Structure 1
Amino acid sequence: MQQEVIIVGGGMVGLSLALMLAKSNIAVKLLEAIQYPNYDDANLAPYHSSFDARNSALSRRSVQIYQELGLWDALQEHATPILEVQITEQGSFGKARLLAEQEKVESFGQVIENAWLGRVLLTEVRKQPLIELIDGVQVTSLKQDTDFAYIEAVRGQEQLQLAAKLLIAADGRDSFCRKALGIGASEHDYDQVAIVTTVQTSKPHAHVGFERFSHLGPLALLPLPGEYRRSVVWPVPKGTEHEWMGDENDQHFLNALQQAYGDRAGKFEKTGRRFSFPLSQVLAEKQAVGRVVLMGNAAHTIHPVAGQGFNLCMRDAYVLLRYLTEQAAQSADLGDAAMLRDYEQSRLKDQQRVIKFCDSVVRGFSNQNPILKFMRNTGLVAFDTIPGIKPLVANYAMGLKA
């Protein structure tokens, strides 16, 4: 008898994992709180709460996973490769460059708008006979015993009661499932808000990604499809974001961006609508309890600096898939608690390394002490000149040494 898995949360991680499982002949019920859009226009990807204005810098490992799923051709149409990375600090001498050609790789990764990534994933999910998609549903109860995990949910006037050997909670930073299980979480508020938008510059992006540590916060400028389009992710102190939001502040925002970046990208000519997202680190105390495993932001929400969050989640999902396919091949219990704990332990080293790195970068570059600033920039110069460091860092950033 074919075992079935319940996934609560149909964002990018939930959809990706559902496809991994279905293509490995494991049936899935996928529950999502928001009703998914119907895509009538082939050339549009409207924003949805799960696939919003943000962009994802897919590491080479994430690209490989989507290639294995047979999705990369569809995603590649909306993605742009990163062939060079430049790291600088505003008003300082340090600079580091990573070149794909020097590291002998096709690219460091690919940038794709979440709206398009979500559209491609959702379109594929809707084609899969082994995935039952239940959207517009609110989970109200999660319980488990030695044999099953049980879900109660509401969709309109309809009451749903579901059970499965394994439940995967991918329901976001404020996960209902995590709280229902009594799993605690540590939270650190960075007191920052990420301003996210798309801009047009006078110079072509030439597939260069910039990480610029400005006085306000770490500013990422990444290439997008279209020679002059770039994505902006700019964490700024909480409360200051309001002066840059709204159409009437377009030029004010462009001026601030120009001041922070200088002329490396040429003139910032146009900006799209700005969106803002509060930034915090949320780490679940446990990721596997009984027949339930936490995935995505429900397990670990991290700062977007260096673009590692989604890629870390994809590696989690891929490793969990390996454990589950081994269980399925032996007709063993997919929700076996010991197996899920083994999965959790297998992921801790990679998770802790990425979480510590991102947190250290944010805290380290937030301090404007002149001595620390000098040390940071000396470190950037050393990184750029000492042999052997770049390949190691590049492999980690690409997710190839996890």
Structure 2
Amino acid sequence: MSQQPVIIVGGGMVGLSLALMLARQGIAIRLLEAVKYPENASGEPATYHSSFDARNTALSRRTVQIFSELGLWEKLSQHATPILQVNISEQGGFGKARLQAHEEKVESFGQVIENAWLGRVLLSEVRANANIELVDGIQVTSLQQDAGKVWVTAQRGSDQLQFQSSLLIAADGRDSFCRKALGIGVDEHDYQQVAIVTTVQTSKPHGQVAFERFSKNGPLALLPLPGITGQQDSYRRSVVWTVEKGSEQQWLGEHNDQQFLQALQHTYGNRAGEFTKTGKRFAYPLSQVLAHSQVSGRVVLMGNAAHTLHPVAGQGFNLCMRDAHVLTRYLSEQYQAGQDMGDNARLKHYEQARLSDQKRVIRFCDSVVRGFSNQNPLLKLARNTGLVAFDVIPGAKQLVATYAMGLKV
């Protein structure tokens, strides 16, 4: 049977990555993205885009492996820095836990990369791939399907267009239009928290060390970033600081730079030296959104359309990449056999194959956020005792490191 291009709705980092995975298998892709992508001349800094924003992403070892399989890691690594050590602590507590790459006999736990650079490399590869038709600046307005096909109607300027395929993959984000059009419900939990995201400079080099520090407001992640050209050491760090919803405005705006740095110093302490400079801050409300189903007929939900997680431990994007990698394997088998890639029974097999890994990660992220948010003195004592025990119990570090690296799937 002749194959029409697989439709992917949503051209963020997950949608672009999945398109490249499928195209590598010879599958034709039509990628629809609502926002017009930026144009960048060679050598210019990456332009922020709604999909490639001010945030940074900690890529797990498994995600790095996937990008290596795609032949992209050589390009991505130029804008990434490895995590050689992870320190975990709680503000006002005595317990501390530490993971070191050399103890786990790996070169790193993962790599930190700025979303703008990751998006730029992915977009460049998609534009150059003959198997991918990229249609940006187009808004999907309806989605329908029957026993043999799925089609969407979309608006681009004054033009109304219609596309059809045997399979549609909805990677159109947390508030997915496609998910709503299919009538798939969600379980949503609002954490009543906002993530303040920025880049800071410190008086001490980061030494490829990542920190996760828990405070009464929520977790504070401090991740190493690549240095400025010509510097031997890097003093740049990514900050993801969780604060109570409604309090974020006091930390935004250039006039609040010094106030923000002082508050950050108070929460984090002096292990990074002095926080000397901050970039522009961005605020992102935090919630958990889980779709009731990830497959409906000939449609698969992918990325944040399927599951949006709290950013604690940096698991969300890495989980999505494992989803995309497994889906690619299933679809490639169908394609190579000349069979229907939109076959619902086969898509349901994919969904079932991913549930164990997804549930484990979702449960872990949610329990960490809820557990460390409770300021009961007895629970705080138990948490810090646990952090001390984690540092000395044989095998505990290896188990946690394996899960964090995305290798136990």
Give yes or no for contact 1:84–1:208 (8 Å, CA) kept in 2: yes
Q: How far does the alpha carbon of each residue in 1:318-353 deviate from its partner, in whole angstroms, 9 at most, with x for none?
A: 000000011011000000000000000000000000
Aligned residue number for residue 362 of structure 1: 369
Show the 5 A alignment for 1:86-125: 86-125=87-126
Give yes or no for contact 1:3–1:26 (8 Å, CA) kept in 2: no
Aligned residue number for residue 50 of structure 2: 49
Deviation at 1:41, TM superposition (A): 4.9
Show the 5 A alignment for 1:385-396: 385-396=392-403
Find the aligned partners of 2:97 and 2:77 in 1 and give their Cα distance. Answer: 28
Letter in 2 for 1:313: C
Deviation at 1:43, TM superposition (A): 3.6
Match of 2:359 among 343, 352, 372: 352
Aligned residue number for residue 154 of structure 2: 153
Deviation at 1:74, TM superposition (A): 0.5
Aligned residue number for residue 240 of structure 1: 247
SS at match of 1:160: strand
Aligned residue number for residue 163 of structure 1: 164
Find the aligned partners of 2:32 and 2:97 in 1 and give their Cα distance. Answer: 44
Give yes or no for contact 1:3–1:334 (8 Å, CA) kept in 2: no
Aligned residue number for residue 222 of structure 2: 221
SS at match of 1:260: helix
Aligned residue number for residue 336 of structure 2: 329
Show the 5 A alignment for 1:268-347: 268-347=275-354
Find the aligned partners of 2:388 and 2:24 in 1 and give their Cα distance. Answer: 46
Structure 1, 253-262 or 35-44: larger mean CA deviation: 35-44
Q: Within the alignment, does 1:73 sit opposite 2:74 as a pair?
A: yes
SS at match of 1:385: coil
Find the aligned partners of 2:153 and 2:382 in 1 and give their Cα distance. Answer: 54
Deviation at 1:93, TM superposition (A): 0.2
Deviation at 1:215, TM superposition (A): 2.4
SS at match of 1:209: strand
SS at match of 1:77: helix
Give yes or no for contact 1:220–1:234 (8 Å, CA) kept in 2: yes
Aligned residue number for residue 256 of structure 2: 249
Find the aligned partners of 1:42 and 1:49 in 2 and give their Cα distance. Answer: 21
Aligned length: 402
Task: State the percentage of identical aligned residues.
Answer: 72
Aligned residue number for residue 5 of structure 2: 4
Find the aligned partners of 2:4 and 2:152 in 1 and give their Cα distance. Answer: 16
Find the aligned partners of 2:81 and 2:206 in 1 and give their Cα distance. Answer: 10
Aligned residue number for residue 65 of structure 2: 64
User: What 5-or-longer segments of structure 2 have no aligned partner?
Assistant: 228-233
Give yes or no for contact 1:33–1:136 (8 Å, CA) kept in 2: yes
Provide runs of 4+ in structure 1 moved above 6 Å. none
Q: TM-score, normalised by structure 1?
A: 0.99
Give yes or no for contact 1:172–1:297 (8 Å, CA) kept in 2: yes
Match of 1:374 among 354, 370, 381: 381
Deviation at 1:40, TM superposition (A): 2.0
SS at match of 1:210: strand
Aligned residue number for residue 19 of structure 2: 18
Aligned residue number for residue 180 of structure 1: 181
Find the aligned partners of 1:378 and 1:310 in 2 and give their Cα distance. Answer: 31
RMSD: 0.6
Find the aligned partners of 2:61 and 2:354 in 1 and give their Cα distance. Answer: 19
Deviation at 1:369, TM superposition (A): 0.5
